[in-house]
Amino acid sequence: MKKTSWIILPVLLFCSQLVTGQKIDSVKFFSDEPLIEMSLTTDIKALQTEKKIDVFQDADVTVRFPDSSVVTEKITLGARGHFRREFCTIPPLMLKFKGPGSPRLSSLGKLKLVIGCGNKADDEQLILKEYLAYKIYNLLEEKSFRVRLMRVTYIDSRNKMRPFTQYAFMIEDDDDMAKRNGCIQKGKEQILTESTNRDMMTMVAVFEYMISNGDWSVPNNHNIKLIYEKDIPAALPYVVPYDFDHSGFVNAGYAQPNELLGTEKVTERVYRGFPRQMEELEAVFDAFRQNKEKINSLIMNFTLLKERTRKEAVEYLEDFYKTINNKNDVKSIFIDNARTR
């Protein structure tokens, strides 16, 4: 028996190492709900001053999962976007997990980390509202980006800035989102809005109207991704929206209305889709109506947001429901006065 036990022990230890050394499941990472704690250590000053696109620098990341497991690895990261790089304490980030220094996290690929523009409580509330915008769209459409809520501590490797901790969220990898929906990406293509899948384009345009987001464009590949049916080459692409921080639903102080819309505030809704038949609109509106209680429950149960903010969010969406339930308003907004070019 003693000899047998000495044989079994190394085997168990080896199996344990295999389990603890497994790569993170990228699909499960975004389908699970519990909060993830993470710390990022990098040269924050270099991140703030770098103005070029696609410039990455070294970082150390520690991820604490809900099951108490901890992964510490080396990755690279870089600033992304344009507007917020000029105004924010730390710009939105792109994290590159794939590399020799991150054997367990490499399966996550290249992920966007959406963070607060500043490090105050109000900045945090805006991030949480944008996170909810993604979660609302998840309820309406499967061909959408999943997100994972994080609590991130930022540490300056040169000790020029005090560490601070704030809520943030990661956005699912483009290819993972496409693959999950039986689709592929083909890179950036300049396509007219009405040269996409019509039903999906209607859904996206109505959702963007719901949250009052005018900061998107299909022909310019701005804040949308195009994915294609993998097994149907001739099928028109699906439009998948992202980046909702300039929406009226979030109502960030730095957000400015799209000049083309002629509005004074981002909270003023403008339909940016093309005209649709009443039957097409009603089919899409039904998805919003059927999910109304789920959407309201999602917002009201999200206690990381202040109670007043949650109530205001529900009230803001209630105005949208009043509009789609009024035939005259629907005809005026989505048919008669919709854009034609």
Query: What is the spatial distance between Cα 45 and Cα 145, in angstroms, rounded to a whole number?
Result: 30
Q: Are 54 and 153 part of one and the same domain?
A: yes
3-state secondary structure 218-251: CCCCECEEEEEECCCCCCCCEEEECCCCCCCCCC
Residue 1's pLDDT band (cuts 50, 70, 90): very low
Q: Are 54 and 159 part of one and the same domain?
A: yes
* Average pLDDT value for residue range 163-177: 95
Quick one: pLDDT at residue 7?
43
Looking at the chain, how many residues does it have? Answer: 341
Helix ranges, the chain (H): 2-20, 26-31, 44-49, 83-87, 121-140, 174-180, 198-210, 278-290, 292-300, 307-324, 327-330
Q: Are 190 and 154 part of one and the same domain?
A: no
Quick one: pLDDT at residue 88?
80
For residue 275, tell me if it sits in a domain. yes
For residue 66, tell me if it sits in a domain. yes
DSSP per-residue letters across 261-277: GT-SSTTS----S----
Residue type, 207: F
Q: Report whether 261 contacts 219 (CB < 8 A).
A: no
Give 231-280 pLDDT, tens digit per residue.
998 999 999 999 999 999 999 988 888 877 888 899 999 999 999 999 99
- Model's pTM, two decimal places? 0.91
Give 186-245 pLDDT, tens digit per residue.
877 889 999 999 999 999 999 999 999 999 999 999 999 999 999 998 999 999 999 999
Q: Report whether 184 contacts 72 (CB < 8 A).
A: no
Query: Is residue 143 over pLDDT 70?
Result: yes
For residue 108, tell me if it sits in a domain. yes
Q: Are 147 and 198 part of one and the same domain?
A: no
Taking all residues of the chain, what is their mean pLDDT, rounded to a whole number? 91
Helix ranges, 32-111 (H): 44-49, 83-87
Q: Are 144 and 190 part of one and the same domain?
A: no
**CATH number, domain with residue 301:** 1.10.1070
- Last residue of one domain, picked from the residues 112, 144, 174: 174
Residue with tokens 């199996």: 15
Per the DSSP assignment, residues forming a β-bridge with 170 are 113, 148
Q: CA end-to-end span of the chain, whole Å?
A: 82
Task: Quote the domain boundaries for residue 155.
Answer: 24-174
Q: How many domains does the chain have?
A: 2
Give 90-127 pLDDT, tens digit per residue.
888 999 999 899 999 999 999 999 999 888 888 999 99
Q: Are 256 and 211 part of one and the same domain?
A: yes
